[in-house]
């Protein structure tokens, strides 16, 4: 039969790879921030330029109005500043300035458009009064035009003050972003150089691992543990800790083939002699014959003077179901059993009953936590010298955390699954095997769970076994024949 011994697996986290992964994420964040900072700096730079252009445009238009006002107050009616073309050009200047503000800066300066419209309106009124004051004394002209010019100038100054405030905010933001931009450039450079150094270091470590692998390939005495360790190191070094864990777990699933001809020690456990050369096997047989087998007391008369204890699985299961009968009734769980008669397995009766009890208790818990009709089915079959006892239930099934722990994908065992770990420990002591899985429905939902127990069984081997159980009744030739 085949017994799989799965060791407890622990997820190993390589701190170097962990830091490298975090460093890469931080570098990506810095690059993103650098791009964003560059984008905002460009926008702020354009906005500052637009504010400057707008301010200069407003000042130019105002200067034209001021020239017209001065010429009219001084009475220089022949001055070009009083010509219709000049006045029209001034109004076009204000219209263009207002349009520029609407296109680029209106959303950044609340009330700015109202002020510019007021300036345009007052300018239009000012130009209209120029024609209506012809023939009036100069003092009247100065008084009428002066009031309108002052109002126009006030609106212009108010607009420019607000524009200056907007410019100051933009400049402050630009300065801050510029320093942030330079800082991010430094950080990105640091991460880039760090990543370059990490790649160089990784390549160097991989070269060292390759050299070790080459040495192992040409070393006939290399052990499987050395190969496993080197592969695990290579996978973890390249940022694949879960893959390394799977390789590690697969290597730990050591398949031990127990032949009917293998001798047992005094504890009833097989003495392995497989996988060795002919000379090593003969040397081990000599050691066994001379009572020098490791683990065998000096002077012991036999290799295995006592056969392992066999227990009636039918009686053990019946006693366990009787103990749990009240639970089945109170939980409204129906039970179906399909057990051949005369099932016997190797092991201690109390330990086997504990295993069966804890398994059935888990199935009852699963049914109690499930929805719909609750049902448990217990089946058994014998294949060769192995008895398979399988329990199905229609409950909630196992948690993903427990299944991941059972497969060795995590080192954290759920608190609610401690009983199942105890069951596996009991089974391991009996050289039995347990498997756990969820039953899936047509829509990939969990519809129950399945626990299968594999026990060693005497079967027909009690009568036909070729196992050598006593050196008192055998000869060295018998030993050699049993291993041939």
Element spanning 93, H or E = helix 84-104
Per-residue pLDDT band at 113 (split at 50, 70, 90):
very high
| Dihedral-angle region of residue 111 (phi above 0 means left; psi in -120 to 50 means alpha; beta otherwise) | left
Alpha carbon distance 345, 432 (integer Å): 10
- Angle between the N-to-C axes of helices 15-74 and 112-132, in degrees from 0 to 180, rounded to the nearest 10: 10
Residue 307 reports pLDDT greater than 80: no
Residue 475 reports pLDDT greater than 50: yes
Per-residue pLDDT band at 191 (split at 50, 70, 90):
confident
| Cβ 130 vs Cβ 82: under 8 Å | yes
Residue 11 reports pLDDT greater than 70: no
| Cβ 72 vs Cβ 130: under 8 Å | yes
Per-residue model confidence (pLDDT) at position 137: 64
pLDDT digits (tens, 9 = 90+) for 215-273: 888 777 777 777 878 888 888 878 777 676 666 665 554 433 334 444 444 444 555 54
Alpha carbon distance 166, 13 (integer Å): 53
Checking 130-137 for CB contacts under 8 A at 24+ apart, the result is 130/68, 130/72, 130/82, 130/87, 133/72
Q: Looking at residues 72-96, what average pLDDT do you find? A: 88
Looking at mean pLDDT, say which of 3-17, 47-61, 450-464 comes out highest.
47-61
Per-residue model confidence (pLDDT) at position 60: 94
> What is the average pLDDT score of the chain?
78
- Angle between the N-to-C axes of helices 349-368 and 418-429, in degrees from 0 to 180, rounded to the nearest 10: 150
Min mean pLDDT across 181-190, 439-448, 463-472 is at: 463-472
Per-residue model confidence (pLDDT) at position 416: 67
Per-residue pLDDT band at 330 (split at 50, 70, 90):
confident
Alpha carbon distance 178, 40 (integer Å): 10
Per-residue model confidence (pLDDT) at position 377: 92
Alpha carbon distance 286, 280 (integer Å): 10
Per-residue model confidence (pLDDT) at position 289: 52
pLDDT digits (tens, 9 = 90+) for 144-171: 788 888 888 999 999 999 999 999 999 9
Q: Give the Å distances, CA to CA, from 100 to 54, 57, 106, 112, 164.
A: 7, 9, 9, 12, 17
In this structure, the number of other CB atoms found within 10 A of the CB of residue 480 comes to 14
Q: Give the Å distances, CA to CA, from 362 to 22, 320, 408, 416, 426.
A: 41, 13, 21, 10, 15
In this structure, the number of other CB atoms found within 10 A of the CB of residue 182 comes to 10
Alpha carbon distance 54, 12 (integer Å): 64
Q: How much is the pTM? A: 0.41
Both tokens of 82, joined, read 């009083």
**Which has more pLDDT, 185 or 269?**
185
Alpha carbon distance 140, 412 (integer Å): 97
Residue 483 reports pLDDT greater than 50: yes
Alpha carbon distance 14, 190 (integer Å): 22
| Dihedral-angle region of residue 45 (phi above 0 means left; psi in -120 to 50 means alpha; beta otherwise) | alpha
Per-residue model confidence (pLDDT) at position 376: 92
Element spanning 383, H or E = strand 374-383
Per-residue model confidence (pLDDT) at position 89: 93
**DSSP readout, 141-197?**
HHHHHHHHHHHHHHHHHHHHHHHHHHHHHHHHHHHHHHHHHHHHHHHHHHHHHHHHH
State how beta strands 386-393 and 344-346 pair: unpaired
- Domains with residue ranges and CATH for the chain: 16-191 (1.20.120.1730), 220-254 (no CATH), 262-304+467-482 (no CATH), 310-464 (3.30.565.10)
pLDDT over 70, % of the chain: 73
Per-residue pLDDT band at 419 (split at 50, 70, 90):
confident
Cα atoms found within 13 Å of the Cα of residue 17, Cβ hemisphere only = 14
| Cβ 386 vs Cβ 457: under 8 Å | yes
Residue 133 reports pLDDT greater than 80: no
pLDDT digits (tens, 9 = 90+) for 269-294: 555 544 455 566 566 656 655 544 44
Q: Looking at residues 340-365, what average pLDDT do you find? A: 88
**DSSP readout, 297-318?**
PTT-S-S-SSPPPEEEHHHHHH
Per-residue pLDDT band at 392 (split at 50, 70, 90):
very high
pLDDT over 90, % of the chain: 17
- Angle between the N-to-C axes of helices 138-217 and 224-237, in degrees from 0 to 180, rounded to the nearest 10: 170
- Angle between the N-to-C axes of helices 84-104 and 112-132, in degrees from 0 to 180, rounded to the nearest 10: 170
Phi and psi at 290, nearest 5°, equal -90, 15
**Which has more pLDDT, 308 or 103?**
103
Per-residue model confidence (pLDDT) at position 442: 84
């Amino acid at each position: 039969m085949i017994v799989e011994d799965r060791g407890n697996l622990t997820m190993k986290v390589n701190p170097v790879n962990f830091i490298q992964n975090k460093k890469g994420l931080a570098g990506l964040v810095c690059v993103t921030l650098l791009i964003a900072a560059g984008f905002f700096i460009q926008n702020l730079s354009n906005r500052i330029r637009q504010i400057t252009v707008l301010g200069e445009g407003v000042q130019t238009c105002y200067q034209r109005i001021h020239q017209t006002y001065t010429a009219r107050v001084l009475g220089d009616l022949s001055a070009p500043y009083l010509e219709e073309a000049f006045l029209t050009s001034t109004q076009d200047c204000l219209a263009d300035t207002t349009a520029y503000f609407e296109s680029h800066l209106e959303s950044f300066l609340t009330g700015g458009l109202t002020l510019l419209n007021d300036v345009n309106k007052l300018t239009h009124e000012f130009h209209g009064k120029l024609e209506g004051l012809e023939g009036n004394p100069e003092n009247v002209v100065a008084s009428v035009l002066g009031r309108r010019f002052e109002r126009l100038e006030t609106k212009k100054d108010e607009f420019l003050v607000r524009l200056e405030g907007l410019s100051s905010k933009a400049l402050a933001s630009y300065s801050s972003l510029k320093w942030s931009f330079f800082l991010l450039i430094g950080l990105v450079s640091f991460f880039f150089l760090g990543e370059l150094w990490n790649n160089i270091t990784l390549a160097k470590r991989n070269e060292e691992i390759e050299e070790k692998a080459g040495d192992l390939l040409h070393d006939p005495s290399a052990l499987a543990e050395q190969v496993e360790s080197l592969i695990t190191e290579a996978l973890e070094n390249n940022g694949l800790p879960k893959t390394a864990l799977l390789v590690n777990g697969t290597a730990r699933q050591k398949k031990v083939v127990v032949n009917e001809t293998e001798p047992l020690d005094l504890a009833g456990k097989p003495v392995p002699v497989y996988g060795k050369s002919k000379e090593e096997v003969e040397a081990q047989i000599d050691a066994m014959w001379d009572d020098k087998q490791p683990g065998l007391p000096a002077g012991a008369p036999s290799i295995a003077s006592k056969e392992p204890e066999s227990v009636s699985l039918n009686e053990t299961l019946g006693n366990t179901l009787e103990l749990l009968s009240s639970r089945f009734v109170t939980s409204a769980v129906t039970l179906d059993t399909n057990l051949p008669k005369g099932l016997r397995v190797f092991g201690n009766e109390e330990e086997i009953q504990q295993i069966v009890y804890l398994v059935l208790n888990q199935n009852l818990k699963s049914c109690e936590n499930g929805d719909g009709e609750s049902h448990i089915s217990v089946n058994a079959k014998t294949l060769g010298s192995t008895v398979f006892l399988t329990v199905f239930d229609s409950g909630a099934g196992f948690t993903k955390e427990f299944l991941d722990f059972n497969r060795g994908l995590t080192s954290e065992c759920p608190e609610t699954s401690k009983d199942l770990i105890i069951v596996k420990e009991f089974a391991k002591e009996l050289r039995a095997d347990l498997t756990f899985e969820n039953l899936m429905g047509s829509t990939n939902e969990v519809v129950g769970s399945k626990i299968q127990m594999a026990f060693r069984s005497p079967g027909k081997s009690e009568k036909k076994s070729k196992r050598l159980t006593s050196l008192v009744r055998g000869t060295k030739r018998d030993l050699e024949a049993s291993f041939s």
